[in-house]
Structure 1
Amino acid sequence: MAGLLGALGSALQPVGDALGSTVGALTDTVDQTVGTLGNTVDQIGSTANGVLGGIGIDQARGPFQQCIAQALSGDSGRFAFPTDLLFDLTDLHLYNLDHPLTPAAITYPNNVQEVSSIVVCASQYGVAVQGRSGGHSYDNNGLGGMDGSCSIDFRNMKDFRYNEGDRTVTFGPGNLLRDLDRQLALIDRVMAYGVVGEIGTGGHMTIGGLGPLSRLLGTATDQIVSVQCVLANGQIVQANAYENPDLFFAIRGAAWSFALVTEFTMITSPAPSQVVSYQYNITIAPGNAAVLADTFKSWQRFISNPALSRLFASTLTLTNDVLIFSGTYFGDEASFNQLNIEVDVLGVAIGLGITSRVVTTVVHDLVDLVTDLVGAIPAHFYSKSLKVTPQTLWSDAAVDAIFQYIESTPKGTPLYFLVWDLNGGAISDVPPTSTAYWHRDAVYFLQSYVIDLLGPVAPTSYAFLNGLNAFIQQVVPGIDDSAYPGYVDDQLPDYLTAYWGGNVEKLVSVKGRYDPGNVFRNSQSVPNV
Structure 2
Amino acid sequence: MLLLTAVACLLNTVVAAGGLQSCLHTRLSPASTLVSPSSAEYPNATVSNNLSWQYFASAVVFVGSAEDAAIAVKCAAASKIPVTPRGGRHSYASFGSGGRNGSFVVDVTRLQSFSYDPKTTYATVGAGFRLGNLALALDAHGRATPHGTCTFVGIGGHATCGGYGLTSRLWGLLVDQIVRVTAVTAAGDVVEASPSKHSDLLWAISGAAPSFAVVLSFTIRTYPQPASTSYFDFDFGNFSDTPSLAVKALLAFQSFAATSAPPELGTQFTVGRSAGGTLGLRLSGVYYGVETAIPTVIQPLLDAIPFSPISNTSKLQGYMASVAFLGGDDPVNTTGRVESPNTAYEKSIIVPTSAPLSEETWTKFVEFAFNTPVPPGISSYYWQIDAFGGSYRGKRTAMAAFPSDANAFGGRDGLLLMQHGTYSDTSGSYPAGGHAFANSFAGTITETVRTEGKKIEAYQCYVDPLLSADEAHALYFGHEKTHKLKALKHKWDPARVFDYPHAF
TM-score (norm 1): 0.83
Partner of 1:344: 301
Partner of 2:367: 404
Query: Is the contact between residue 388 and residue 479 of structure 1 (CA under 8 Å) also seen in structure 2?
Result: no
Quote the Cα distance in structure 1 between the aligned partners of 2:79 and 2:241: 56
Quote the Cα distance in structure 2 between the aligned partners of 1:369 and 1:492: 29
Query: Is the contact between residue 405 and residue 468 of structure 1 (CA under 8 Å) also seen in structure 2?
Result: yes
Residues 310-332 of structure 1 show CA distances to partners (whole Å, capped at 9, x for unaligned) of 11111111111221211111110
Residue type at the aligned position of 1:458: P
Give the SS at the match of 2:477. Answer: helix
Q: Superposed, which structure 2 residues align to 1:182-331 within 5 Å? A: 182-284=136-238, 291-305=245-259, 308-320=261-273, 321-331=279-289
Q: Superposed, which structure 2 residues align to 1:53-68 within 5 Å? A: 62-68=18-24
**Which of the pair is proportionally richer in helix?**
1
Matched residue count: 462
Structure 1 runs of 4+ aligned residues shifted over 4 Å read 285-291
Partner of 1:390: 353
Task: Classify 1:499/1:347 alpha carbon distance in 2 versus 1 (closer, same or farther; 3 Å).
Answer: closer
Partner of 1:84: 39
Q: Superposed, which structure 2 residues align to 1:108-507 within 5 Å? A: 108-284=62-238, 291-305=245-259, 308-320=261-273, 321-339=279-297, 341-345=298-302, 348-350=305-307, 354-366=310-322, 367=324, 368-372=326-330, 376-412=339-375, 413-424=378-389, 425-454=397-426, 455-476=428-449, 477-493=452-468, 494-501=471-478, 502-507=480-485
Residue type at the aligned position of 2:312: S
Task: Classify 1:331/1:316 alpha carbon distance in 2 versus 1 (closer, same or farther; 3 Å).
Answer: same
Q: Displacement, 1:336?
A: 2.1
Quote the Cα distance in structure 1 between the aligned partners of 2:306 and 2:126: 47
Query: Is the contact between residue 29 and residue 68 of structure 2 (CA under 8 Å) also seen in structure 1?
Result: no
Quote the Cα distance in structure 1 between the aligned partners of 2:443 and 2:364: 13
Q: Displacement, 1:286?
A: 5.8
Give the SS at the match of 1:383. Answer: strand
Q: Displacement, 1:370?
A: 2.5
Query: Is the contact between residue 351 and residue 456 of structure 2 (CA under 8 Å) also seen in structure 1?
Result: no
Quote the Cα distance in structure 1 between the aligned partners of 2:282 and 2:239: 15
Residues 337-394 of structure 1 show CA distances to partners (whole Å, capped at 9, x for unaligned) of 211x24533553435x521111111111102253517982212211111110123212
Residues 395-426 of structure 1 show CA distances to partners (whole Å, capped at 9, x for unaligned) of 23332221011121232123111111121111
Residues 105-159 of structure 1 show CA distances to partners (whole Å, capped at 9, x for unaligned) of 1111111001000000000000111111111001111111111111111121101
User: Structure 2 residue aligned with 1:519, among 473, 487, 497?
Assistant: 497
Residue type at the aligned position of 1:293: V
Query: Is the contact between residue 423 and residue 443 of structure 1 (CA under 8 Å) also seen in structure 2?
Result: yes
Quote the Cα distance in structure 2 between the aligned partners of 1:66 and 1:466: 44
Q: Displacement, 1:441?
A: 0.2
Quote the Cα distance in structure 1 between the aligned partners of 2:135 and 2:60: 28
Q: Identity across aligned pairs (percent)?
A: 27
Q: Displacement, 1:487?
A: 1.2
Partner of 1:12: none
Residues 161-198 of structure 1 show CA distances to partners (whole Å, capped at 9, x for unaligned) of 11122111111011100111111111111101111110
Residue type at the aligned position of 1:416: Y
Q: Over aligned residues, Cα RMSD in angstroms? A: 2.1
| Gaps in structure 1 of 5+ consecutive residues | 1-60
Query: Is the contact between residue 214 and residue 427 of structure 1 (CA under 8 Å) also seen in structure 2?
Result: yes
Q: Displacement, 1:70?
A: 2.3
Quote the Cα distance in structure 2 between the aligned partners of 1:210 and 1:196: 11
Partner of 1:34: none
| Gaps in structure 2 of 5+ consecutive residues | 1-16, 274-278, 332-336, 390-396
TM-score (norm 2): 0.87
Partner of 1:50: none
Residues 212-242 of structure 1 show CA distances to partners (whole Å, capped at 9, x for unaligned) of 1111111111111110110111111110111
